């Protein structure tokens, strides 16, 4: 038994740390089974064994004493950048980055101004001063994928992922971190082979070419191919740029198989927080976000006059199919404008629509400055355009989806095969949940009289002020990403300090149908999966006033995502941390949920997070 009162090795009391004690017993017998343990400083003594299990593999509580090892520590100070010169050199002349670099050039002034504001806003002593070495692997631009996303970016193709990558790279650079960017599988192999070839699969790698690795699902597949059976040694430093998110039940390989989920995008067995989304779709993932670009400053905006016109959100002719009655009703009370791509014949856009074609950013925002109503048609889902419209003072008509409507079924079909169980209740749920009236009006696309009334009311009311959610500004993203890089650590075990601070924890219970996400939202809160370990305890049921005649800790074949939970005197403990879930729901048990407050306009952060 380790002596916790040793002056040389002041270990904490281990009575409540059964896993730690089991690992110590194993290491005493097996530390010579792999030379990698000795490389980390283990010499068979209880002191070095404990420090290894505490600081390297994180099975035991920390002691505060540093282990003797050859592990490199980056000590360079982080200094915010003053220009983008070095960043453009990093990206080089690779044609795959052409669209990304164009966006960076347009926005560099806004990023640098935001960096100055961030330094002024916060006491720099509260921010991590050491720079992180960050590798960014853009798998979507690798030639092996065959996606041709970079080419299609200039032909009306989807831009959301390129926008997010551009802003992530810019923000990391401006914050002062050391970055390397690649889309080459060949370069990836060259980079990792020296580190992996000599590594043991039993110990963490002592030196890596990065502290954090951002990639996407395509990049993950390339990385797994390069690393082979040593992929797990790289796993905890990875952050996945994942537009729509990956929920726990799809991420957990065994559980996804048991539920017969067919998605080809899940089953990675990551901490769900390692997936970074465009919008705060599910609190199980990390909200990384992006920036809504401002093309028109306040001085120029003052020269534009709002007109009683409606601009339809739909750049492709196919988006207009089946919407004839809806558009006709709007036309009865308003001139209808559009920005539809015209390379092919328009079969579904009515002749009375004033079509401007696909507009460059400045011209589109100039049109939005004149527009009072930005018309959603139910698709595309959760894009940036409604936020751009709201930021230019237009009111967004957000189409609701009733469970009996074809639009609801269409949305469900769109998400089929993706690693999420989300069921959209509108075209853009974020705008209703986190922005709302007067900037957003939820409408029933089949209630034509109501739609005409809403538009008339908007025209007759005072103009709505432009609104930009802080989290979609350069400053908001720098603030959020700076804290995420500093605080998120998926290589630490359960003994690591929790973030967000546990002081923000509030618990609620679901009814027999709600998910934790829904239950927390009804209370004006956000579900926070980091807090699940604090409530997944026998003692917490009593604290909540719940009587437990029987406790059950289900095995791997019976465990569900909506544990911890209870019903009829039986209480269920979650036995698999990878299945802690805010979004999931499979039983009619009463799920106990960890919630937290959030900063309005910065939903990723609690009020004490700063």
Nearest to 211 by CA among 129, 131, 133: 133
Q: Write down the pLDDT at residue 80.
A: 83
Mean pLDDT along residues 395-423: 92
Q: Write down the pLDDT at residue 410.
A: 92
Q: How far apart are CA 594 and CA 526, in angstroms?
A: 8
Mean pLDDT along residues 23-49: 90
Beta strands 506-509; 590-596: pairing state: antiparallel
Q: Write down the pLDDT at residue 169.
A: 98
Are 529 and 490 in contact by the 8 Å Cβ rule? The answer is no
Range name among 195-209, 289-303, 473-487 with the lowest pLDDT average: 195-209
Q: Tell me the three state secondary structure of residue 590.
A: strand
Sorted by where each starts, the structural domains of the chain and their CATH numbers stand as 1-71 (no CATH), 85-242 (no CATH), 298-467 (3.40.50.2000), 493-596 (no CATH)
Range name among 402-406, 471-475, 600-604 with the lowest pLDDT average: 402-406
Check residues 9 and 469 and name the one with the higher pLDDT. Answer: 469
Q: Write down the pLDDT at residue 128.
A: 62
Tell me which DSSP letter residue 431 carries. Answer: I
Q: How far apart are CA 36 and CA 54, in angstroms?
A: 16
- Sign of the CA dihedral with 415 first, then 256, 243, and 609 last: positive
pLDDT tens-place string over residues 556-566: 778 999 999 99
pLDDT tens-place string over residues 503-524: 999 999 999 899 999 999 999 9
Q: How far apart are CA 336 and CA 320, in angstroms?
A: 13
Tell me which DSSP letter residue 77 carries. Answer: B
pLDDT tens-place string over residues 324-358: 999 999 999 999 999 999 988 999 999 999 999 98
pLDDT category of residue 209 using cuts at 50, 70 and 90: confident
Mean pLDDT along residues 88-117: 95
Are 592 and 514 in contact by the 8 Å Cβ rule? The answer is no
Burial of 126 (0-12, 13-18, 19+ CB in 10 A): exposed
Runs of H (alpha helix) within 122-247: 149-152, 160-174, 185-196, 217-227
pLDDT tens-place string over residues 229-274: 889 889 999 999 998 899 999 999 999 999 998 888 899 999 999 9
Q: How far apart are CA 160 and CA 427, in angstroms?
A: 16
Q: How far apart are CA 338 and CA 358, in angstroms?
A: 9
Q: Write down the pLDDT at residue 318.
A: 93
Q: Write down the pLDDT at residue 67.
A: 45
Instruction: Name, of 5-9, 155-159, 360-364, the range with top average pLDDT.
Output: 360-364
Compute the mean pLDDT over every residue in the chain, rounded to the nearest whole number.
Answer: 89
Q: Write down the pLDDT at residue 148.
A: 85
Using the predicted structure, report yes or no on whether residue 550 has a pLDDT greater than 80: yes
pLDDT tens-place string over residues 442-452: 999 999 999 99
Using the predicted structure, report yes or no on whether residue 195 has a pLDDT greater than 90: no
Q: Tell me the three state secondary structure of residue 189.
A: helix
Mean pLDDT along residues 188-209: 84
pLDDT category of residue 404 using cuts at 50, 70 and 90: confident
Mean pLDDT along residues 302-314: 95
pLDDT category of residue 69 using cuts at 50, 70 and 90: very low
Number of residues that this document lists for the chain: 610
């Amino acid at each position: 038994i380790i002596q916790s009162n040793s002056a040389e090795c002041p270990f904490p009391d281990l009575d409540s740390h059964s896993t730690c004690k089991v690992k110590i017993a194993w290491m005493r017998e097996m530390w010579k089974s792999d030379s990698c343990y000795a490389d980390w400083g283990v010499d068979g003594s209880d002191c070095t064994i404990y420090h290894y299990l505490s600081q390297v593999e994180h099975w035991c509580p920390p002691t505060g004493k540093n282990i003797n090892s050859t592990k490199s520590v980056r000590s360079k100070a982080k200094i915010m950048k003053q220009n983008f010169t070095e960043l453009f050199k990093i990206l080089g002349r690779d044609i795959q980055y052409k669209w990304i670099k164009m966006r960076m050039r347009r926005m560099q002034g806004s990023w640098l101004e935001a960096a100055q504001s961030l330094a002024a806003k916060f006491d720099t002593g509260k921010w991590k001063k050491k720079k992180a070495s960050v590798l960014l692997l853009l798998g979507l631009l690798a030639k092996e994928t065959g996606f041709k996303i970079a080419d299609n970016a200039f032909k009306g193709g989807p831009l959301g992922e390129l926008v997010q990558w551009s802003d992530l790279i810019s923000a990391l650079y401006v914050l002062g971190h050391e970055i390397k960017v690649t889309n080459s599988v060949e370069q990836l192999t060259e980079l990792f082979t020296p580190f992996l070839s000599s590594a043991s699969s039993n110990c963490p790698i002592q030196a890596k070419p990065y502290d954090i690795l951002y990639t996407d699902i395509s990049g993950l597949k390339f990385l797994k191919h390069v690393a082979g059976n040593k992929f797990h040694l790289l796993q905890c430093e990875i952050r996945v740029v994942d537009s729509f998110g990956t929920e726990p039940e799809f991420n957990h390989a065994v559980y996804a198989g048991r539920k017969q989920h067919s998605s080809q995008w899940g089953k990675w067995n990551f901490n769900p927080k390692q997936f970074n989304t465009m919008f705060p779709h599910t609190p199980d993932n990390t909200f990384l976000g992006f920036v809504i670009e401002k093309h028109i400053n306040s001085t120029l905006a003052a020269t534009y006059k709002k007109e009683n016109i409606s601009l339809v959100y739909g750049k492709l002719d196919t988006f207009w199919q089946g919407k004839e009655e809806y558009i006709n009703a709007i036309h009865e009370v308003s001139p209808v404008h559009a920005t539809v791509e015209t390379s092919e014949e328009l079969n579904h856009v009515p002749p009375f629509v004033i079509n401007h074609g696909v507009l460059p950013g400045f011209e589109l925002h100039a049109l939005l400055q004149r527009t009072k109503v930005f018309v959603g048609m139910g698709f595309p889902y959760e894009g940036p355009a409604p936020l751009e419209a709201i930021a230019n003072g237009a009111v967004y008509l957000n189409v609701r989806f009733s469970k009996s409507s074809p639009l609801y079924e269409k949305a469900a079909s769109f998400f089929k095969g993706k690693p999420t169980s989300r069921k959209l209740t509108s075209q853009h749920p974020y705008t209703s949940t986190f922005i709302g009236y007067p900037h957003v009006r939820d409408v029933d696309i089949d209630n034509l009289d109501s739609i005409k009334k809403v538009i008339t009311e908007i025209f007759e009311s005072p103009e709505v002020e432009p609104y930009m959610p802080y989290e979609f500004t350069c400053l908001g993203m720098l603030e959020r990403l700076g804290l995420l890089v500093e605080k998120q650590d998926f290589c630490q075990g359960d003994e690591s300090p929790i973030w967000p601070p546990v002081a923000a924890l509030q618990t609620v219970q679901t009814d027999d149908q709600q998910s934790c996400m829904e239950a927390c939202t009804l209370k004006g809160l956000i579900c926070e999966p980091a807090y699940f370990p604090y409530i997944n305890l026998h003692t917490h049921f009593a604290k909540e006033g719940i009587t437990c005649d029987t406790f059950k800790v289900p095995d791997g074949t019976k465990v569900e995502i909506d544990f911890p939970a209870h019903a009829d005197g039986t209480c269920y403990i979650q036995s698999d941390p990878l299945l802690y879930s805010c979004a999931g729901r499979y039983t009619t048990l009463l799920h106990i949920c960890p919630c937290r407050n959030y900063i309005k306009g910065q939903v990723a952060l609690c009020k004490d997070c700063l």
